[in-house]
Structures are given as structure tokens and as C-alpha cells.
Amino acid sequence: MHISQIRTFLEVAETGSIIKSANHLHITQSTASSRIQQLEQELNQKLFIRSHSGVQLSPAGLRFQPYALRLLQTWQQAHQDMGLPDGFKGLFSLAIQATVWDRFSRPWITWMKTNVPDYVLRVEADWSQRMIHNLSDGYLDLILTSVPHTVPGLKIEKLMDDPLILVSSCAATLSESLSQNYIYIDWGPHFNQQHNLAFSTISTPTLTVGLSDLALQIIYREGGSAYLPQRAVQAQINQGTLYPVSEAPQLNAPLYLMYPEQHHNPEVLHMGLNGLRVLAESMREAPPTDTCT
């Protein structure tokens, strides 16, 4: 089994077409077909159902697809690790939940460059379920999420509570804020449950987003309101560019770290964890700054 076969399999599964996949991979159609046939022979399974309209995954192909994804990810990680620039000892990968990406990514990178300068860093914004799969498969070293799941071999550590307050582009009552351009940010199941209990009678928001900075951009451009981290918007409140809705209850979106119980480099993992812990502590003590201290 060759990695080229895996890439071709995944491409065909994605496009549903041998011809399109060959074009995307810059190979001939016969080469693409040959790779799929060789893979099917090695697995002794038909991976695709062929028809005049194209191809689709067979039941065996559907079962093989997640394994193929992990094989490709592992190969890509190994390729990166083996191809490190001179003077670097290894690669460390962190995935941050997209809703808090803007507050954690840059300060953590600064921390790591200062404390572990001889490691190449890979930092991704992602969503929880996919992150946990990639962490379990060894593609990631550490994740920051609001939706932890118990997985054998992985540790869960609560990093911090993240208080959220309702803010608006202008002074407004609670009913006005929830009825006029209210933007619902999906902070995760814990927040969603609190929100449903607090506002069980309001109608479905007309706009839901998964990124807090996107919601803030819309509020500044078009007006509106949203639940945002108190620490992140306190400066704007002090400046009078955002207004807290005093009648609205404070909600919470707790954040968690997940990482392997047994890591191949415990010292570097400790530094990655410590960077996020120090950053979280600085957020608890004062408004967030650009760097860890």
C-alpha cells in the first residue's frame, strides 16, 4: 500500500469522479484507476460502486475512509517531522476551538517561541469533534476546547471559566437587544443550555455564527448585540464603543485542555500546557494582553 493510493482513494471519494480526481492530482485517468484497483486488490474489497454518473463509496469503502484519513494525516505529520529545518528538534501541534482562536493563538505562539525556540509549531483553528479525533490519532499534541469528551489515553483538564456578557452597539434594554439584530454565537453545549434556560421564550435568532470576532465585526458595521467574553470587550465598554445590557444574565463557556496521558516528549508538552495555563491566569487577573507573562 502506497500513500499515493491513499491520496487517490480520498480524492475519488471526495469528487465522485475518476476524471476530476486525476486532474486534481495531476495524473492520468488510467493512473488514478490503476491506483484504486491496486488498493482494492490489497484490501480484497471493492471500495467504490461504479455507474454512468460516476463513482460512490461502497460499504467497504465507507468503512475504510476514516482509516485512510488517519493514514494520510500520520504520513503528513511524519513528513513534516522528518523534514524539519536545521537547528530544530521537533514539531508541536496545537488546535484551538475556533470561537476562542483570536484570544489564544498569538499569545501562545509568542510563549512557545520564547520558551521552546527549537521546535516548529503548527497551530490550527478547528471544531471540537474533529480536534479530538486528530488528538486521539496522534496528529495533534494538545487541544483547547469547550466540548471535551472522555477518550481512553487522553487527559481532560479544566483551564478556565470564560464569563460571557450581552453587549450591544448602543444603549438598549434586554428586550430590544434580543429582538433587534441579535447575533447568536455558538459557544458550545454548556452555553447553549444556559442560553435556552435564560431565554426560553425568545424567537430563533436570525443570525448564528461560530466566530466571536466575526460577530464583533458585524456589530460594529451594522449594529446589533451578542454574548461576548467580558474580558475581551471590557476595553470597548470603557471606551464607549460597546454597551453592556445590564438586565441580561451573565453566562459561561468553560474551556478545557485535552492531551495524551503518555506523550513522546513530556517536557515539550509541559511547556505547551504551561503557556496556555499562564495565559489563562493572566486573563483571570486582568484584561488580556498580547503576550503571556
- What pLDDT score was predicted for residue 83? 65
d(CA 266, CA 272): 10
Greater pLDDT, 291 or 236: 236
User: Which positions ≥6 away from 12 have C-beta within 8 Å?
Assistant: 18, 21, 32, 36, 48, 55
SS (H, E, C) 19-56: HHHHHHHCCCHHHHHHHHHHHHHHHCCCCEEEECCEEE
Q: What is the domain class of 163-252 according to CATH?
A: alpha beta
| CATH code matching the domain that covers 3-81, chosen among 3.30.450.20, 2.60.120.10, 3.40.50.620, 1.10.10.10 | 1.10.10.10
Q: For the segment 190-235, what is each residue's pLDDT rounded down to a tens digit?
A: 898 999 999 987 777 889 988 888 899 999 999 999 999 988 898 8
Q: Which three cell numbers stand for residue 279?
A: 495565559
Q: Is the pLDDT of residue 155 over 90?
A: yes
In angstroms, the Cα distances linking 216 to 11, 56, 102, 224, 283 are: 37, 41, 12, 9, 19
Within the chain, which residue ranges are assigned CATH 3.40.190.10? 84-155+258-283, 163-252
Most confident option among 178-182, 251-255, 262-266: 251-255
Q: For the segment 113-153, what is each residue's pLDDT rounded down to a tens digit?
A: 999 999 989 999 887 677 888 888 778 899 999 889 898 88
Q: Element (H or E) spanning 57, and its range? A: strand 54-57
- What pLDDT score was predicted for residue 85? 66
- What pLDDT score was predicted for residue 290? 38
Q: For the segment 32-67, what is each residue's pLDDT rounded down to a tens digit?
A: 999 999 999 999 999 999 887 788 999 999 999 988
Residue entry with cell 484490501? 43
Phi first, then psi, for residue 125 (nearest 5°) are -100, 130
d(CA 249, CA 196): 12
> For the residues 274-284, what does the mean pLDDT come to?
92
Q: Is the pLDDT of residue 79 over 70?
A: no
In angstroms, the Cα distances linking 149 to 128, 135, 145, 238, 277 are: 9, 12, 10, 38, 20
In 88-181, DSSP assigns E strands to 90-97, 119-126, 142-145, 154-160, 163-168
d(CA 273, CA 100): 16
Q: What is the domain class of 84-155+258-283 according to CATH?
A: alpha beta
